[in-house]
Amino acid sequence: MARLDALDADKWWLSTWQPETAQLNRALGVDWPTVQWYDPTTREGIWTGKRRTILDALAQNRPIVWLDDEETTYNVGLAIQATPHEAPVLGVGPDSAIGVGRPQMDLVEDFIRNPPAGSVVRFETAGDGHEGHWGF
């Protein structure tokens, strides 16, 4: 968590654990704000909110790194690619049993230090830098 927290980037919780992110912040020693993307009482928006939030964020034309163990799918990548944007996007799909692996973290750090030019969309879901990579 220290490597993520040390990155020169805005960090936000966009998590299904939305109601518990304050506890996660305390447990992990971070202080990241939470995006309110679904109603935790009615659960309205829970099936579409994450993707909608990322697609809306593309309008800011700032590089985006999105770490998500569920929404880093090929179809999400197609939706991102089809949405007008000028900044690059990196989606990282960690193994939900272990979290972000070292190769994935290296990729995130490199992307933030030296983002590719243009509207490049790259998703890394295997963590080995090759096998799970896809892009456009």
Instruction: Tell me the pLDDT tens digit for each residue of 91-100.
Output: 999 988 888 8
Sign of CA dihedral 56, 74, 39, 31: negative
pTM of the full structure: 0.85
Burial environment of residue 131 by CB neighbours within 10 A (0 to 12, 13 to 18, 19 or more) = exposed
**Strand bridging mode 133-135 / 121-124:** antiparallel
Residue with tokens 């299904």: 16
pLDDT digit string, tens, across residues 44-102: 999 989 999 999 999 999 999 999 988 888 888 899 999 999 999 999 999 888 888 89
Which among 65, 68, 129, 74 is positioned nearest to 99, based on CA atoms?
A: 68
